[in-house]
Structure 1
């Protein structure tokens, strides 16, 4: 049963977080959580970078190649579900550290694989870690950000994810042709070091601690944060303003599908699915399309893939600059419409060269990465503290379904002799449907997490 003291406590914690000016503490936390996200993104793209080599080395069919890249995605799906529950039960920081350790150790195992079966098994385990870390890390960053600048704060952090993807492509350009695909997975094991540092240097979310009834611990953590921020800025902190308290209660999965949360969960799930269906339908197959369909050498194929990741990074930066001004709903709808336009134009123009695909794929990723980053901001905003990680991770479930079905659909079209124009026109249609769905999203701009869930 919720107590008045508990309600007032959460309101007080929220108000104290809201009044904190940007400081070195925010930079430190965003850097450490960002390092986690960087390597999770790096590891996510490893299979796509290795795929052209594996298809030749192990004589894979298109079906086997599809299986190899989707097993990691299936792992991410289950990882997202498990981490959502863990994030709300054992805490944000512990869950992230556990997921990072799983990712790094599994990457070492993948590097030892001597066939497609073991490769796929270890990628599944690696996917468990990747799928669990990203939504819970985004939840943590949301919970320490001020409402008036939450969009920019979170999305500048989210830029680290496309930076990790770009880094994976950049490193692959030299490493895969010169050292082999296994070296990429050895590099991908570095997150194990971050997993050791994280619990020591990043305090648990005070909002989560209080939602679990750990009031004294929450007070100690917020007091420690305030002291560090005050020392950093060199002046007394402003007085906390009145913030509506949020009900302190144990979260349940079924709460995501009742009352006002039913609409939020439905729209959010559809947007996650669309965004990652389009994203991975393109990114997973790009290196192989360049080498197999257009006869490009491996280095050129990886450079073209890198170009797409760089434009995605620019798209994330662009949306970070505007989302607090124009709002979440217009930003998501516009970006999805832009992706549909780029893909549709490519399909109608006829897919005639690798360079043409690289240009339009890069335009698409500009918009798609903006959508993905926006959803990592938007998802935790929609749910109360007791259910925030679970709600964000449930969106991650549909995210992973998109990650699985996008590459499978593209692989099925290519394997059955379908045209590349068909590949891109179906992706354009999915993105267009997402733009319409985004118009029904609840706007969250400028409101505290407690106001959105009061």
Structure 2
């Protein structure tokens, strides 16, 4: 343990570099999530014509779904494990596992093994996002705000755009396998940097009763030591032994349900729109070039929305900001049903600003309203349940299109999802609103 601590805090003087290293390294980790979002879609045209495998559309759809299922399980299980063994170890494990398995995808000899490697890679990566969110917020200069979460998630969209551009450069001359080699290569640099510069979370250490280590890391890295949560300040380290139970216990159950429902709605919108918006816009009468431009504008709006929503959340709180952002997304999605010319680009941009940022604000609220002992578990379950929405989003769009109701009812259906998200998050409560008499998160002895 002493060796680990020394490797995390090798410099002897306080520095502000650690929060920068944490944010930068976690940003790259989330960028890998953006890579994984796009890479299969980028290689599917090549896979579908890969004669050695003879894949059908049904098989490709099954492989795509396997990745999301893996991410769901990973977020639920690895996110919980983070609160037991620490943020640093989990991030090192998830990045290593994802990179190795992505490289194995590049050399997979059969569709069966390719699908298995995609599932396992999704499992590893699924646990990385909630862990990175927890760590970045704990090293943020404003832990209760939303800017740390929203800035981190810009990496997701940068990764998606960069992967699409990479596909244009690599696939035609080098084949579809080259994309998975490219996805594994960042680990060659990223993992050594994580070993050298990524510290353990003082909040996690305090939750484990390792106060001296936490104080030392906080001092050396120029951040304030984590403060105890008002409902857990008088309870022992044993509270962290079953963080999942805590989410179903007072005073967190109400917030847990609200967050899960909201996350489901949020990722349903993100994946549903990214999958079907170009097709729905074509059904609405726009040409193919314009419909593809809409997807680009939607994601450009997402990046701008993330930057704005973080500042807003810092001022009014992530819960209030999330309500506004889900409601705004619902309004602009409904307005997309109106057939207009140039103004439609503005509506799509604004829809992207609100829809994509809304889910990230849920993560910010989750991080700010759970104590260190269960923070990553809460984020993991939020992301995990949300991934179920990610699976349902493309299904909803496909059903509406198949039934011939995509225009205008597809827009209204997605708008209703946004409204339900606003209602769900509005039923949650911030820490300040929780009753002082609420029961502790688990049964444990007084410290």
Q: Deviations over 1:214-257 (max 9, x none)?
A: 2333233233224xx7xxxxxxx9x9999968344333222211
Aligned counterparts of 1:53 and 1:420: Cα–Cα separation in 2: 31
Structure 1 partner of 2:27 = 34
TM superposition shift of 1:400: 0.9
After the TM superposition, which residues 133-144 of structure 1 pair with which residues of structure 2 at under 5 Å, given as runs? 133-144=128-139
Correspondence 1:105 to 2:105: no
Correspondence 1:203 to 2:222: no
TM superposition shift of 1:204: 0.4
Aligned counterparts of 1:316 and 1:405: Cα–Cα separation in 2: 24
**Matched-pair contact (CA < 8 Å) for 2:102–2:121:** yes
**Matched-pair contact (CA < 8 Å) for 2:145–2:318:** no
Q: 1:403 aligns with which of 390, 403, 415?
A: 390
Give SS of 1:315's match.
helix
Correspondence 1:269 to 2:254: no
Structure 2 partner of 1:74 = 69
Distance 1:289 1:344, change over 3 A: closer
Aligned counterparts of 2:229 and 2:373: Cα–Cα separation in 1: 18
Structure 2 partner of 1:93 = 88
Single out whichever of 358-367 and 433-442 deviates more from structure 2. 358-367
**Matched-pair contact (CA < 8 Å) for 1:72–1:126:** yes
Correspondence 1:284 to 2:275: yes
Alignment RMSD (CA, Å): 3.7
TM-score computed with the length of structure 2 as normaliser: 0.80
After the TM superposition, which residues 281-360 of structure 1 pair with which residues of structure 2 at under 5 Å, given as runs? 281-285=272-276, 296=288, 305-347=295-337, 349=339
Show structure 2 runs of 5+ residues with no match. Answer: 1-13, 435-439, 442-447
Single out whichever of 140-149 and 391-400 deviates more from structure 2. 140-149
TM superposition shift of 1:288: 7.4
After the TM superposition, which residues 41-440 of structure 1 pair with which residues of structure 2 at under 5 Å, given as runs? 41-55=34-48, 63-113=58-108, 116-147=111-142, 150-176=145-171, 179-193=174-188, 194-226=190-222, 246=233, 247-249=235-237, 250-251=239-240, 252=242, 253-285=244-276, 296=288, 305-347=295-337, 349=339, 361-414=348-401, 419=406, 421-440=408-427
Give SS of 1:213's match.
coil
Aligned counterparts of 1:122 and 1:97: Cα–Cα separation in 2: 19
**Matched-pair contact (CA < 8 Å) for 1:268–1:395:** yes
Aligned counterparts of 1:415 and 1:63: Cα–Cα separation in 2: 16
Q: Deviations over 1:259-292 (max 9, x none)?
A: 2201110111111100001111121345777999
Aligned counterparts of 2:376 and 2:28: Cα–Cα separation in 1: 20
**Matched-pair contact (CA < 8 Å) for 2:157–2:299:** yes
**Matched-pair contact (CA < 8 Å) for 1:159–1:373:** no
Aligned counterparts of 2:226 and 2:101: Cα–Cα separation in 1: 45
Give SS of 2:370's match.
coil
**Matched-pair contact (CA < 8 Å) for 2:319–2:365:** no
Aligned counterparts of 2:121 and 2:419: Cα–Cα separation in 1: 32
TM-score computed with the length of structure 1 as normaliser: 0.79
**Matched-pair contact (CA < 8 Å) for 2:202–2:226:** no
Show structure 1 runs of 5+ residues with no match. Answer: 1-20, 230-236, 448-452
Aligned counterparts of 1:53 and 1:270: Cα–Cα separation in 2: 37
Aligned counterparts of 1:189 and 1:197: Cα–Cα separation in 2: 15
